[in-house]
């Protein structure tokens, strides 16, 4: 199998490349080649024998996609996008990269298939941002797409394109609406969602974290390990049962900030919790309080997608994967 | 008010131009100019004083939209599209006209607004084809967009763009998902939905009609008069209460083919009904049996959109508007 990861330099892209390189196979088929693509040079993972090609390319440039697709990858993970705040601040850039870039990719695949039969698996990372208020407490699989951001609009449009290109037989696509990743490794960032990770990550490292919202705020989470696992699962399974609806709400953990804090207390004691300083920020609250709180995720669960079952498990995964403490 | 109708040569476009020309006003404001646009030369309606400009233009050509928008119409009715069967048979043409054409229009409006303040009302005709099976018996306003055709995909994408451009303040848009028009005036056509009109229209004219499906098939209808009325209403009312969700399922009549036939019998007697010849066509049945059967249409009703209340009324409207018999 020839695997292509577009957006390979990002947090999830790197984790995906590493995990696949380690496994050496996907869906029981040996991986013979990795093509890793990003706008900045992606790092090559350690592979046991598989060829690795690292390419710097920008899908929003119309000539990039046909060049990438000429190599006829069997499975394409398309993770490349600019983030929500960037797409909101820069209208044209958001549509150019998040919409036109993806459309160039799908078109390159379709046109390659006109030369001779070609129908790759395409796993596309979508987002909970395709949903917007008013929202039910638990969002069903057939809930309306009504984004409240340009980023969410671009993701929703790409989902619709993916479904139509799949229905027409040009590619075999699936869009995964990933839960908010928790605990995100690395340093605190400026994303509105950043605190969901930093109130766990920083106290576990003995550092202070700021909590800008009240403890009853509820949201939907999965670990980086689960997110990478979902992508690989989506690249491995038979998608025929999806029919024309190619977008999946993924399983996750519905937890309040209070649930997060109590899980942190069970993992690391009162001293860790005492490092969380509450400092309400109405601007952050306004953004995150409109986000989904829970999903039924029935279709994805039925297809074997899984996530952690509790915030305790999410914290345990973080400690194992990022702090390496399970081995100590 | 300067009114622009794009797709002015079509059945609904002509009816809209005529009705607005007759009224001389929209939402209480006098109409000073009509700009009528289509890929074939649109006919000028009889207006009492208002300027009329007829333009032949194709929105899928990137330079067309900026030229049209330079005239800064206050209200734009965008009805132009290629139909479902054409978009399914001609993939690239469908995306070029139904998606790129609409995007060019929205972009031209946005860029005109960068020169100086400009935020026109945009009324876009969407379609029930944004929905696909499995469907509930009565579709709620917040049901998922899951089209099963390239046409439906293109309409759904344009709805999402319209909502985002409205949210960003570039235009003040609303998308109307029109019910199937019944009774469509004119000659029988090859659309899969054609029989819904011809089993009324032809017998009323003393001609035979073919019914290709069983009598228990249910669907969602409104008259051409209602459709034009909905467009004008959408061009007149305050849309602020819609918030970010700018697409409306319109009110209509949910009726079975049997209901249609019994209404025809009440309007024109057994002799008319005897002109309907049942001749099942599995290809037609397969297409139309997947279509929506009914909608709650709560949001649109709340905003004052209306339709006929029965198939009898739909037939009466057809007799008045197309056969001129109320005046006889």
pLDDT band, very low/low/confident/very high, at A326 (cuts 50, 70, 90) = low
CB contact A1 to B (< 8 Å): no
Residue A327 clears pLDDT 60, i.e. is over it: no
CB contact B147 to A (< 8 Å): yes
CB < 8 Å to A153, chain B: 160-161, 163-164
CB < 8 Å to B110, chain A: 91
C-beta separation of B127 from B155 below 8 A: yes
CB contact under 8 A, A145 and B143: no
Min Cα distance B38 → chain A (Å) is 27
CB < 8 Å to B148, chain A: 167, 244
CB < 8 Å to B141, chain A: 144
Min Cα distance A164 → chain B (Å) is 6
Q: Is B66 left (phi over 0), alpha (psi -120 to 50) or beta?
A: alpha
Min Cα distance A15 → chain B (Å) is 32
**Domain at B2-178+224-249: CATH code:** 3.40.50.720
According to DSSP, residue B39 is labeled S
What residues have CB less than 8 Å from B244, skipping those under 6 apart? A132, A146, A147, A148, B163, B166, B167
Residue B83 clears pLDDT 70, i.e. is over it: yes
Which of B306, B160, B296, B182 is closest to B233 using CA atoms?
B306
C-beta separation of B203 from B244 below 8 A: no
pLDDT band, very low/low/confident/very high, at B187 (cuts 50, 70, 90) = confident
Q: Which of A96, A104, A153, A167 to mutate to test the interface with B (most CBs of B within 10 A)?
A: A153
CB contact A84 to B (< 8 Å): no
Q: Which residue has the higher pLDDT, B285 or A254?
A: A254
Mean pLDDT of the B46-73 span: 95
C-beta separation of A252 from A196 below 8 A: no
Maximum pairwise Cα distance, chain B: 64
CA atoms within 13 A on the CB side of A20: 36
Q: Closest chain A residue to B144 measured between Cα atoms? A: A144
Residues in a beta bridge with B170: none
Helical H runs in chain A?
11-23, 64-69, 84-89, 91-94, 101-115, 150-167, 194-204, 224-236, 257-273, 282-288, 298-302, 311-322
Which of A144, A148, A164 minimises the CB distance to B144?
A144
Mean pLDDT of the A93-104 span: 98
Query: What is the share, in percent, of chain B residues with pLDDT greater than 70?
Result: 99
Q: Closest chain A residue to B151 measured between Cα atoms? A: A164
Interface of A with B in 232-271 (CB under 8 A): 244-245
Min Cα distance B166 → chain A (Å) is 11
Third-level CATH fold of B194-220+252-294+309-327: UDP-galactose 4-epimerase; domain 1 (3.90.25)
Min Cα distance B245 → chain A (Å) is 6
- Window from A213-222, B18-27, B188-197, B264-273 with minimum mean pLDDT: B188-197
What residues have CB less than 8 Å from B225, skipping those under 6 apart? B15, B317, B321
What is residue B261's predicted lDDT score, i.e. its pLDDT? 98
Interface of B with A in 113-142 (CB under 8 A): 132, 141-142
CB < 8 Å to A156, chain B: 160
**Domains A2-178+223-249 and A194-220+252-291+308-327 belong to one CATH topology:** no
CB contact A143 to B (< 8 Å): yes
Residue B227 clears pLDDT 70, i.e. is over it: yes
CB contact A99 to B (< 8 Å): no
pLDDT band, very low/low/confident/very high, at B286 (cuts 50, 70, 90) = confident
Residue B324 clears pLDDT 90, i.e. is over it: no
Which of A157, A164, A244 minimises the CB distance to B160?
A157
pLDDT band, very low/low/confident/very high, at B325 (cuts 50, 70, 90) = confident
What is residue A236's predicted lDDT score, i.e. its pLDDT? 96
C-beta separation of A66 from A37 below 8 A: no
According to DSSP, residue A193 is labeled T
CB contact B167 to A (< 8 Å): yes
Average pLDDT, chain B: 95
Q: Closest chain B residue to A170 measured between Cα atoms? A: B91
**Annotated catalytic residue within B95, B118, B151, B196:** B151
- Window from A50-64, A183-197, A274-288 with minimum mean pLDDT: A183-197
What is residue B327's predicted lDDT score, i.e. its pLDDT? 40
The model's pLDDT over B3-35, given as tens digits with 9 standing for 90+, comes to 999 999 999 999 999 999 999 999 999 999 999
pTM (2 d.p.): 0.96
CB contact under 8 A, A142 and B144: yes
Q: Other C-beta atoms within 10 Å of B194: how many? A: 18
Q: How many CB pairs under 8 A join A and B?
A: 64
What is residue A187's predicted lDDT score, i.e. its pLDDT? 84
pLDDT band, very low/low/confident/very high, at A328 (cuts 50, 70, 90) = very low
The CA–CA distances, whole Å, from A128 to A78, A141, A264, B17 equal 17, 12, 25, 42
Which of B110, B132, B156 minimises the CB distance to A244?
B132
Domain boundaries, chain B: 2-178+224-249, 194-220+252-294+309-327
Residue B248 clears pLDDT 90, i.e. is over it: yes
What is residue B328's predicted lDDT score, i.e. its pLDDT? 37
What is residue B188's predicted lDDT score, i.e. its pLDDT? 78
* Distance from C-alpha of B219 to C-alpha of B255, rounded to nearest angstrom: 6
Min Cα distance A113 → chain B (Å) is 14
**Annotated catalytic residue within A118, A151, A165, A196:** A151
In the sheet with B172-178, reading across from the earlier edge strand, the strands are: B51-56, B33-38, B2-6, B75-78, B121-127, B172-178, B247-249
Q: Is B211 left (phi over 0), alpha (psi -120 to 50) or beta?
A: beta
Min Cα distance B231 → chain A (Å) is 22
Which of B153, B160, B167 minimises the CB distance to A145?
B160
The CA–CA distances, whole Å, from A222 to A228, A288, A312, B25 equal 10, 17, 11, 56
CB contact A146 to B (< 8 Å): yes
Mean pLDDT of the B287-304 span: 95
CB contact under 8 A, A91 and B168: yes
- Window from A157-166, B47-56, B104-113, B117-126 with minimum mean pLDDT: B47-56
The model's pLDDT over B146-168, given as tens digits with 9 standing for 90+, comes to 999 999 999 999 999 999 999 99
- Domain A2-178+223-249, second-level architecture: 3-Layer(aba) Sandwich (3.40)
What is residue B107's predicted lDDT score, i.e. its pLDDT? 98
Query: What is the share, in percent, of chain B residues with pLDDT greater than 90?
Result: 91
Phi, psi dihedral angles at B34 (to 5 degrees): -110, 130
Average pLDDT, chain A: 95
The model's pLDDT over A131-144, given as tens digits with 9 standing for 90+, comes to 999 999 999 999 99
- Lookup result for tokens 């009715």: B77
What residues have CB less than 8 Å from A316, skipping those under 6 apart? A267
CB contact under 8 A, B153 and A163: yes
Which CATH number, 3.90.25.10, 3.40.50.2300, 3.40.50.10490, 3.30.390.10, labels domain A194-220+252-291+308-327? 3.90.25.10
**Is A118 labeled as catalytic in the residue annotation?**
no
């Amino acid at each position: 199998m020839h695997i292509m990861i577009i957006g390979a330099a990002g947090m999830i892209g790197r984790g995906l490349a590493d995990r696949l390189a380690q496994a050496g196979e996907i869906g029981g088929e040996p991986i013979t080649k990795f093509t890793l693509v990003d706008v900045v040079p992606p790092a090559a993972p350690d592979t046991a024998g598989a060829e690795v090609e690292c390419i710097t390319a920008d899908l929003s440039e119309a000539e990039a996609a046909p060049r990438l697709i000429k190599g006829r990858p069997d499975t394409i993970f398309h993770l490349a996008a600019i983030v929500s705040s960037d797409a909101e601040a820069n209208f044209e850039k958001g549509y150019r990269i998040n919409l036109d870039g993806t459309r160039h990719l799908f078109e390159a695949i379709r046109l390659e298939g006109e030369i001779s039969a070609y129908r790759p698996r395409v796993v596309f990372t979508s987002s909970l941002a395709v949903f917007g208020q008013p929202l039910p407490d638990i969002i069903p699989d057939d809930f309306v797409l009504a984004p409240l951001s340009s980023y969410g609009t671009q993701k929703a449009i790409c989902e619709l394109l993916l479904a139509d290109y799949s229905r027409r037989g040009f590619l075999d696509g699936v869009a995964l609406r990933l839960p908010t990743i928790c605990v995100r490794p690395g340093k605190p960032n400026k994303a509105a969602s950043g605190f969901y990770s930093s109130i766990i990550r920083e106290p576990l490292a003995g550092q202070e974290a700021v909590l800008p919202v009240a403890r009853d705020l509820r949201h939907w989470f999965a670990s980086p390990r689960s997110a990478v696992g979902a992508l690989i699962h989506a690249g491995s399974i038979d998608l025929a049962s999806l029919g024309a609806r190619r977008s999946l709400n993924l399983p996750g953990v519905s937890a309040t900030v209070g649930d997060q804090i109590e899980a942190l207390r069970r993992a690391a004691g009162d001293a860790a919790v005492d490092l969380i300083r509450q400092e309400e920020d109405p601007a952050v609250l306004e953004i995150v309080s409109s986000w989904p709180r829970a999903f039924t995720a029935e279709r994805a669960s039925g297809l074997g997608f899984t996530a952690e079952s509790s915030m305790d498990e999410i914290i345990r995964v973080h400690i194992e994967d990022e702090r390496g403490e399970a081995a100590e």
